[in-house]
Structure 1
Amino acid sequence: MKTVAELLKSKVQHSQQVHTIEPQQMVLDALKLMAQMNVGALPVVLDGRVVGIVSERDYARKMVLLGRSSIGTPVSEIMSAHVITVTPQQNIDHCMALMTEGRLRHLPVVDNGQLLGLLSIGDLVKEAIAEQARLIEQLQQYIRGE
């Protein structure tokens, strides 16, 4: 199974840039950026370090349902401050277990306190399917005696 570093490397080849937001920026700015980049979450970064993550789910639960305004509310008020992160050395199985247990959709990848990338559940599912396809192909070759 691939490591997080290997998966990030393949994402970079497909020009997947990590978009971030700062805690003092307004929720409306976060929503605009998520819509523009077609992403469901943004790492909240201060001085290069991940201090939170803000998602569409945070917006729905902490803004819309409470009738709050996106214009005057800073991201820091609705972000999830307890962020589970992974390192580049960890493997995809570990990431999938973390996401399943924590009911997470996004995992920031951090090394020495610096954000390197962001993995989505879709990234992990795509890799799991590709890994299964590779295994099936190897087994079929073995059966055929190749």
Structure 2
Amino acid sequence: MLIGTILRGKGSDVTTVAPESSVRELLAQLAEHNIGAVVVSSDGATIAGIVSERDVVRRLHDRGAAILDEPVSTIMTVEVRTVTPRDNVEELRKIMTTHRVRHMPVVEESRLVGIVSIGDVVKSAIEELETEKASLVDYLHR
């Protein structure tokens, strides 16, 4: 299965936050959209970084509540791994597991076109297994 197939099913909406937004504003976005990570982007198309709940918790532990008023750029991950809609979900699953990444931006021609979470990847695996099971059961009942 290709990543583009997942995007077609879930949609390509991506919540972004500007690098100069405060961590407090980031937390509001995470809560409002019930998501675990946000792409950091000045224009909604190019990626400056990514920041997750995990990043916030770690920085809160390290530096205290003062980070809530700091810009997101001070806590974001700048080396962002990305995939394209033509990449294979199986490869993405391996990358996410190996590098302990839960959210992966999807880019096409250097533009942000979606985001895939580990939940999306697991859901796609379950759907594939259910389809395979139905085919096998159908085959056995012929």
> Which bin holds the TM-score, normalised by the shorter protein?
over 0.9
Please state how far the C-alpha of 1:68 moved relative to its aligned partner: 4.2
SS of 1:69's equivalent?
A: helix
Q: Does residue 30 of the first structure (1) align with residue 23 of the second (2)?
A: no
TM-score normalised according to structure 1 size: 0.91
SS of 2:104's equivalent?
A: strand
Distance 1:110 1:28 in 2: 27
Aligned to 2:15: 19
- Structure 1: unaligned runs, 5 residues or longer: none
Please state how far the C-alpha of 1:91 moved relative to its aligned partner: 1.3
Moved over 4 A (4+): none
Aligned to 1:102: 99
Aligned to 2:89: 92
Distance 1:27 1:105 in 2: 20
Q: Which has the higher contact order (CA 8 A, sep 6+)?
A: 2
Conserved 8 A contact 2:60-2:67: yes
Deviations 1:46-93 (A, max 9, x none): 342111100000001113432142443100100011111000100110
Aligned to 1:120: 117
Aligned to 1:73: 70
Which range is displaced more, 58-67 or 125-134? 58-67
Distance 1:122 1:100 in 2: 12
Which range is displaced more, 92-101 or 41-50? 41-50
Distance 1:40 1:65 in 2: 20
Distance 1:3 1:97 in 2: 14
Give the AA of the match of 1:5.
Answer: G
Deviations 1:76-125 (A, max 9, x none): 10001111100010011011011001101101001111111111100110
TM-score normalised according to structure 2 size: 0.94
CA RMSD between the two structures:
1.3
